[in-house]
Chains A and B, each alone.
Chain A
């Protein structure tokens, strides 16, 4: 135990350079482990965009396309599902619940989605978390609108404000549905998912907006009503039930039912439908966008290499000042093993402390900033135990620390041989 004690005393004696070396290794390890944690958080938040939903059903198209427009609010739907097609499965004995989605309208750059109460009741994200209202409640009347948190914040709307919906997704529609203003009745709490960036109305609300627009143009006032200024003369109550929706989320009664339903939906004889398992589709999509994380990994790997090289430089330069010390060790009988052991232990100990400090830095950072990151960026970085990959990284850093110590150690031993016991100081 003499050599470890000597190594420790020697490091303590050069406290500032030792701390600087430990810090440089700690920062590079923190970067490596931190990136791994952020990557995990990203993947979890990505795959947690939707949870609890067994199947996503839409008109037949591509898996990713359906996922993109139904879950992520990106791209355009390729077609619609007839009301009959939807109700057929809604009322199916193996179906526990459905969330219909009617897409295609927007408000100042945010999507307007028509849905039902089932959305607020059954939609789940990130391992089963429910939607909460920050203010107000669900849209029940056909002129009610509920705002996602980001949409509400960016647009500056509050409860009771009246808004006008645009047909299509233009920021300022050429053809605004300004004849049908909607009232804000609820604002959802932040979820960190695309839910935050949309506005929610009822299915009837969507049809109200489109009443008389079946030709793709607004109804001519002269035909619809002789006196357009008289608002109560244009009742939207002629809508009895919606005619079509864009897609729907489905919860099955059992896992077995899910697979049966998937087959039934895909083979539905009346219209071409498709259903996807969201978990599998999300994983598939993550793989296709996940190559960016490899870039991060490579960068952080090089940061660690630079940190270790910094340690090598600092040990190597310190060595010149320690020639005397090495000669004294030799004079009192220290052999090659002890000289090499001393220096290898020193560098290994620095690497070990650096690795520990780096991990502490990451966990401290996550602990301190987790809430802020989640509320600012909607990204939850969970506090979780180190994964196998990270243990591998840490072991590699510590082993590299010991191995790097061999270089100055060997040099020190050679120097004591050539110096004999009289180093030229």
Chain B
């Protein structure tokens, strides 16, 4: 159950959303990504009204204008790191067009910035968790999407790697002018962001006894 009065995320900012388990995090991210639709109310993402949009249109919108990073297991196991990074651009022509100078070259640039240039030919099974998350970040970033949604992307990383990953992610988002919605239960990261919100406070249904 999720019941939010109003949640607004400013364009171009890096927003931290504190979401402990049971706070309706999964549902909110599903709605933001356009996989789920809200039972009532209004959803506007990047100026597009999701409320009346068909599932197929939301899928296309997500593929073209969003990047999504999971907690772990982000990658298609039978594609190399490079193929994983370029996959969203190969599924969306509009997103592909925004990569100047060829997909593979764009992917290599990003990979170099994220310090995984040497891992592009490997399959996900051959990469460490940290490397996998950077591949996922590169995939989310390639094709300059306007919104990056990151769902606990650092919780599988140890603290050194966590900091480095976040630095790289911020840097890349800033370079592309992308909005970052970062969801985590780890409040220690909060201070690194432009803005911090708590889903537990936003969700009016969470105060009800049963979730």
Interface residues of A, Cβ cutoff 8 Å to B: 2, 6, 9-10, 12-13, 324-325, 327-338, 416-417, 420-422, 425
Measured in the bound complex, the distance between the Cα atoms of B4 and A234 in whole Å is 124
Q: Are A333 and B73 in contact (CB under 8 A)?
A: no
- Say whether A334 contacts B30, CB under 8 Å: no
Q: Once the chains bind, are A330 and B73 in contact (CB under 8 Å)? A: no
Chain B residue with minimal CB distance to A335? B59
Which of B29, B56, B77, B91 meets A421, CB within 8 Å?
B29
Closest to B27 in A: A420
Cross-chain contact B77 with A333 (CB below 8 angstroms): no
Specify which chain A residues have a CB less than 8 angstroms from the CB of B66 in the assembled complex: 333
Contact residue among B26, B74, B75 (Cβ-Cβ distance under 8 Å from A420): B26
- Closest chain B residue, CB of each to CB of A325: B76
Task: Determine whether the beta carbon of B70 is less than 8 Å from that of A2.
Answer: no
Q: Contact string, B29-42, partner A, CB cutoff 8 A, digits 1/0?
A: 11001011000000
Task: Return A133 CB to nearest CB of chain B, in Å.
Answer: 65
> Top 8 A-B pairs ranked by shortest CB distance?
A333-B63, A13-B78, A420-B30, A335-B59, A331-B68, A332-B88, A9-B78, A422-B26
Give the complex CA separation of A18 and B64 in angstroms. Answer: 33
List A contacts of B55 (CB < 8 A). 335-336
Within 8 A of A (CB), among B155-174: none
Interface band, chain B: 20 to 34
State in angstroms the CA–CA spacing of A425 and B59 once bound together. 23
Known: A332-B91, A336-B56. A421 touches B79 (CB 8 A): no
CA distance A99 to B76 in the complex (A): 77
The answer to whether A420 touches B35, judged by C-beta atoms less than 8 angstroms apart, is yes
Per-residue interface assignment for chain B, residues 133 to 152, with 1 indicating a CB less than 8 Å from any chain A CB and 0 otherwise: 00000010000000000010
Least Cβ distance of A289 to chain B in Å?
54
Chain A min CB distance to B99 (Å) = 15
Chain A residues positioned under 8 Å from B62 (CB to CB): 331-333
Q: Is B53 an interface residue (CB 8 A)?
A: no
Contact of B77 among A325, A330, A332, A336 (CB under 8 A): A325
What is the CA–CA distance of A225 and B87 in the complex, to the nearest angstrom?
107
> What's the nearest-Cβ distance from chain A to residue B163, in Å?
25
Q: Does B198 contact A (CB under 8 A)?
A: no
A328 to B63, CA, bound (A): 11
Q: What is the distance, in angstroms, from A350's C-beta to the closest C-beta of chain B?
A: 15
Count of A-B contacts judged by CB separation below 8 Å:
79
Q: Is there a chain A Cβ closer than 8 Å to B11's Cβ?
A: no
| Nearest CB on A from B91, distance (A) | 6
**By the criterion CB–CB under 8 Å, are B74 and A328 in contact?**
yes
Question: What residues make up the interface of B, taking CB atoms closer than 8 Å to A?
Answer: 26-27, 29-30, 33, 35-36, 55-56, 59-60, 62-64, 66, 68, 70, 73-79, 87-88, 90-92, 139, 151
A331 to B61, CA, bound (A): 11
Q: What residue in chain B is nearest A332 (Cβ atoms)?
A: B88
Distance from A176 Cβ to chain B, minimum over Cβ atoms (Å): 79
Q: What is the bound-complex CA distance between A29 and B27, given in angstroms?
A: 47
Give the complex CA separation of A420 and B28 in angstroms: 10
Pair B26/A328 contact, Cβ less than 8 Å: no
Cβ of A417 and Cβ of B73 under 8 Å apart? no
B residues in contact with A417, CB < 8 Å: 35-36
Please give the distance in Å from B134's CB to the nearest CB on chain A: 16
Contact B91 A2 (CB under 8 A): yes
Q: Tell me, in angstroms, the Cα distance from A422 to B59 when the chains sit together.
A: 16
A331-B70, A333-B64 are contacts. A416–B56 as well, Cβ < 8 Å? no
- Cross-chain contact B78 with A328 (CB below 8 angstroms): no
9 A-B residue pairs with CB within 8 Å = A10-B78, A325-B77, A331-B33, A332-B63, A333-B60, A335-B56, A420-B30, A420-B33, A422-B26
Instruction: Contact check, B35 vs A416: say whether CB atoms are below 8 A apart.
Output: yes
A13 near B26: Cβ-Cβ < 8 Å = no
Contacts known (A333-B64, A420-B29, A420-B30); A328 close to B70, Cβ less than 8 A? yes
B26 touches A9 (CB 8 A): no
- Given A421-B30, A425-B73: A334 and B59 interface contact (C-beta under 8 Å): yes
Pairwise interchain contact A2-B73, C-beta atoms closer than 8 A: no
Contact A329 B56 (CB under 8 A): no
